[in-house]
Structure 1
Amino acid sequence: MKKTLTAIILSLAAAATLSLGMAACGNPDDGTPAGATNGLEYTLSDDGTYYTLAGIGTATETEIIIPETYRDLPVTEIEADAFRSNKDITAVTIPASITTIGPAVFNDCSSLESVTFEGDELDSLGNFAFINCTSLTEIALPEGIPTIGTYTFSGCSNLTAITIPASVTSIEASAFTLCNRLATINYRGSRTQWAGIDIADQNEALYEANINYNS
């Protein structure tokens, strides 16, 4: 009986030690708010005031919900190439806290069908951001971005509709090349504002689509 009791006590002590060890190492999902995707990879800014989403990390979900905060600090950027060539992601929700999306973030995410921006402001959208997202059918860009960069939507062969904010003043070369199914542009500005946008070469799809102004 004493031996059995001793064995039980030792077993419980070992379990407690293991638990403490795991807590010391840290839970990779710790700090992610409820409802957001666990396991994503983050980088803390040099000044320690915000996080950048760096990659898919250990996340296995196909519908990614990026949190506004991580470990009680805002998530304000998505790093270049963060989800590049990920073939599993089908949907992404981007919170209002994100102000910068780096280059090639969703480059060649061929299963990506839906991108939802929860906020009304976005300061920067990187070149190649959605290149070759062949399953993407429509997207609404938030206000704030001044430029749709080179190859941003190039190769989005099933893109049929896009909402472009009035803040856009230039669309760089090949931003919409090979977007052969683009049929509808919902532009949030006026016809006069659209005429003032500097549209570079290799964006023929923009001239062939129907444009709805102030929408």
Structure 2
Amino acid sequence: MTFLLLLWSFRAVLFTELVSVRPARCAAHGPAVRADTLTGQVTTRYPSGKIKEVATYAHGLRHGLATGYNPNGDLHHEAHYQNGELDGPFRLYRKGYLFQEISYREGRYHGPWVAYRKGRKTIEAPFAQGQLDGWYYDYYYPSGRIRRKAFYRNGTLVSGEYCYGKDGYLQYELIKAGPTNPHNRLLEQVFYDQSGRVIRSKFIDTFPVTTYLFGLPR
């Protein structure tokens, strides 16, 4: 049985809280200022001197575009802020390719989330007010055929889950219990052959449901 796992590998990349009030410098040789009064474009650098991030601030809070870079100079992320909170499109890059993109509203996921592998879509899911809301799709690479799909409403799995083979046939489905079962317990896992005939089934006790988000700040 497959399930979606929660990963936080890059959570520390960005922050949305008020900047520290310790003295800071707007650029490598700029004048020292109080961090809670920072306004305008602020450049931070790695110890090597290479640019780490260029961000726009207003009164100590990120407000506008923030662009981050890896130590080798490659683009790492592009983010938009409003009054210190992520608000608008967020894009994460890996090895020169767009890796993930999602929109935020007032610091919460809101809009389509899409993951890529070398320019090809591998996962997409819609969010509303921080919750999965709609069809979640996981695609085979590089063909783009659906590998797995499931339907969510307000962050709750509604449909069970459907898993497909590389040739497009339904391999199995996880049949979810009805509304009288509040703990996301599944009734049955049903397996099919390529003609659509049921070949076996088994009962499932529980189905862990979380979100497979690679390193997006939350």
Give the TM-score normalised by structure 2.
Answer: 0.30
Which one scores higher on RCO, CA 8 angstroms, separation ≥ 6? 2
Give the TM-score normalised by structure 1.
Answer: 0.31
More helix by share: 1
More strand by share: 2
